[in-house]
Amino acid sequence: MQTKQRNMNRGAVLLFVIFSMLFFLLIGRIAYIQITGKAGGEVLAAQAEVKYLKQRVLEANRGSILDTNGEVIAEDTSSYTLFAVLDKKMKPNYVMDPEMTAKKLAKYIDMDEDEIYNRLTKDKVQVEFGSAGRDISHQVKREIEKMDLPGISFIRDTKRFYPNGVFASHLIGYVEKNYNEETKQTDTVGKLGIERFENSELKETDGYMKFDSDAWGLLLPNSKEQVQPPKNGHSVKLTIDKKIQTFMEDSMNKVQEEYKPKQIVAIVANPKTGEILAMGQRPSFHPKTRDGLESTWMNLAIEDNYEPGSTMKSFTLAAAVEEGKFNPNATYVTGTYKVPGGRSPSDHSGIPRGKRITFLEGLQRSSNVAFATLAMEQIGAEKFEEYLKKFGFDKPTGIDLPNEVGGKIVYKYKVEKVNTAFGQGTAVTPIQQVQAATALASDGQMKRPYVIKEITDPATGKTIRKTEPKIAGQPISAETAKKVREYLGTVITAEHGTGKKYKLKGYEVAGKTGTAEIVGSDGKYIKGSKENYMFSFLGMAPKENPTLVMYVAVKQPKLGATKVGADPLSEIFNPVMQNSLQYLNIKPANLNERDSVNIDDMTGKPAAKAVKLLSDKGYKPVVLGKGNTISDQSPKAGSVLLEGERIILRTTGELTAPDMKGWSLRDVMKVASLAQLDLNTSGSGYVTKQNLKPGSIIKEGEYCIVELQSPKAIQELNNKKESSKKTEVHD
């Protein structure tokens, strides 16, 4: 019994010792944790913060890119991805009736009802709807939500929105989203053009909100929130004018469709300031889809230099006039200019050889011999080289765009000097020619070209940076500039002038044509076809006091038997310059009143009376709204319009959508502007589809989505329909 008692005592002591050791070990552990704040090598406070301190990202928006009038060219906008929950375990939040759901969704997304039904009946937990279910606008999302379809929901995202589609794309650029390993976030990075050049200004900074939570993530009572507000990117306003750019895009589309050239480059500038009002090219690309980008990554206006051809004669002429060496009535003999020991350049086939004509006629006919004589024998080779540099052909202009290159003045040997005088051998960029032309179009002062008007903080409205016009030099006097414009005006009006096709209705044009040989991959000039040239025109209007300078070049167009290089060029220059001058309300000099008049102010007039007044003058009035009184109009009062142009009239009261089928993009823009609609376009040419039902009530801020097709594509579609009808009748 005693032995048993002793064993029990010993066991009790052992247990006491063990528990005492465990107790002191626990106390020691607690003390260690209290003192060091660590457990298992981890800082407990950090672990607790991870578990209970929650952080939510507050998204910021990338800065917007605007045109000179504040119209949006690129902006961040909310988009939504549509998805459907199919798992019945999620009852009642799953697709209960696939057939009904498919039928209703087909009205709002670009997918057939059968295809939607097939997706909704798959053996999956959740499905999306491909490209048809992505980038859904807030308006469409709202309409779908109104139907209260079980299992149908959305994921919110931010996308870069380019409402004008293919629109100065190489100038504007595009963005990509890249995952940042360091911050563990997705960054938006600008690629090409302004998106790249001003990425640091456009770049947004996301904010965050931190707060203490319980195990379920709910905000704890009396806990303090830490909020870092998001910082949106700065807004970049450009000198680009949306309307003038649209004129250019439309014209380039038509020429591309008809002549299929390898390249088109076009620039419109304000010679008084150097502002670039429009810049475009073909091939181009869609900034959202990148479709077409593989054709060329270069902004051809600033990144490509080539032999300009006879447009260079404008500056050879200016140098001769400035030096007092140009006598328009002096004569020379056409044919060939002899260069000892080198290739002797000749006049083109349109000039009779061996004939004595005046230097003014040589300008009008674009004689190489005339300008070789002026540069080498009148001005002098060294002095002429000074003028090349005064006009800025030896260096980049400094335009505020990435990757600009300069010219290459090839001026060592006599033959190179002679060739440079009429635009061969030496290579320059389109933007260099536009900069040089600003001296001819103004008072002899050459203006540096620029595209960024100002950068502002949208939160405060404060201007961060503003571009002021800058003089890049004064190669000639104001008197010389005026004389040169007079001489260049005869290129358009003279009997033998090469610029006859560039006449405008109501405006006098001064300009110079160009036809440059193209160097092939073997380093030799391409021969054997009237199409293997770079055709160009550098013009300005009105001649007396130019408001606009425009350069356009077309490379290797497909010319029919009756067509010449001036045809595709004039089909870009003429409508762009004509429409732009009218849009800017530049008063015509000699416009026939039967063809065009200043539009009256229709605001305040009865709608019926306004329609009759405009119809009687040969215009096409279109009324937006059910009201009886005109409240606004586009174009505005005082604009100079051609007969047959469409005029949009807004009435008081509710607005109604017009039938825009067959309209040009310019006319659609008038409607969007007056009704304050968010315009989104796809394609080019004339409207074939619109999302707004004709006659339906429309509200400000609503999306106006139109699809456009070229006349050729529309004709092909109509032919197919006719063919289909005939087949049906035959069957």
Where b means 16+ CB within 10 Å and e means fewer, 653-681 reads: eebbbbebeebbbebbbbbbbbbebbbbb
Contact 507, 514 (CB under 8 A): no
Same domain, 231 and 252: no
Tokens of 458: 């949208």
**727 is a domain residue:** no
Of 529, 551, 583, at which residue does a domain stop?
A: 583
Same domain, 155 and 249: no
Contact 650, 674 (CB under 8 A): yes
Tell whether the model's pLDDT for residue 1 goes beyond 70: no
Number of domains in the chain: 4
Same domain, 231 and 246: no
467-490 tens-digit pLDDT: 999 999 999 999 999 999 999 999
Contact 63, 235 (CB under 8 A): yes
**pLDDT score at 511:** 97
Tell whether the model's pLDDT for residue 540 goes beyond 90: yes
Going by pLDDT thresholds of 50, 70 and 90, the confidence category of residue 2 is low
Tell whether the model's pLDDT for residue 574 goes beyond 90: yes
Among residues 611, 695, 697, 692, which one has the least CA distance to residue 655? 697
Same domain, 291 and 315: yes
Tell whether the model's pLDDT for residue 537 goes beyond 90: yes
d(CA 456, CA 29): 59
Tell whether the model's pLDDT for residue 46 goes beyond 60: no
Among residues 526, 570, 529, 565, which one has the least CA distance to residue 306? 526
622-640 tens-digit pLDDT: 998 888 899 898 887 776 6
d(CA 670, CA 663): 11
d(CA 573, CA 56): 54
Domain that holds residue 643: 596-716
**188 is a domain residue:** yes
96-124 tens-digit pLDDT: 999 999 999 998 998 999 999 999 999 88
**117 is a domain residue:** yes
Same domain, 299 and 343: yes
**pLDDT score at 714:** 65
**pLDDT score at 593:** 42
Same domain, 227 and 270: no
**402 is a domain residue:** yes
Sign of the dihedral defined by the CA atoms of residues 131, 78, 196, 704, in that order? positive
**pLDDT score at 6:** 64
d(CA 172, CA 193): 5
**pLDDT score at 640:** 61
Of 238, 269, 285, at which residue does a domain stop?
A: 238
Of 583, 616, 632, at which residue does a domain stop?
A: 583
In the chain, the percentage of residues whose pLDDT exceeds 70 is 85
117-156 tens-digit pLDDT: 999 999 888 899 988 888 887 788 889 999 999 999 998 7
Same domain, 576 and 616: no
Number of helical (H) and strand (E) elements in the chain, helices listed first: 21, 33
Tell whether the model's pLDDT for residue 29 goes beyond 70: no
Distances (CA, A) of 692 to 5, 229, 664, 679: 100, 38, 16, 11
**CATH classification of the domain holding 679:** 3.30.10.20
Mean pLDDT value of segment 262-289: 96
Tell whether the model's pLDDT for residue 505 goes beyond 60: yes
Catalytic option among 79, 169, 235, 310: 310
Q: What is the mean pLDDT of the chain?
A: 86
**CATH classification of the domain holding 183:** 3.90.1310.10
**7 is a domain residue:** yes
Instruction: List alpha helices for 121-168, DSSP H.
Output: 138-146
**219 is a domain residue:** yes
Same domain, 609 and 551: no
Same domain, 82 and 219: yes
Half-sphere CA count of 133, side-chain side, radius 13 A = 19
661-712 tens-digit pLDDT: 888 777 888 888 888 887 877 766 788 889 888 888 888 888 888 887 766 6
Tell whether the model's pLDDT for residue 729 goes beyond 50: no
Same domain, 403 and 292: yes
**pLDDT score at 545:** 95
**729 is a domain residue:** no
Same domain, 260 and 210: no
Same domain, 620 and 555: no
Quick check: is 310 catalytic?
Answer: yes
**135 is a domain residue:** yes
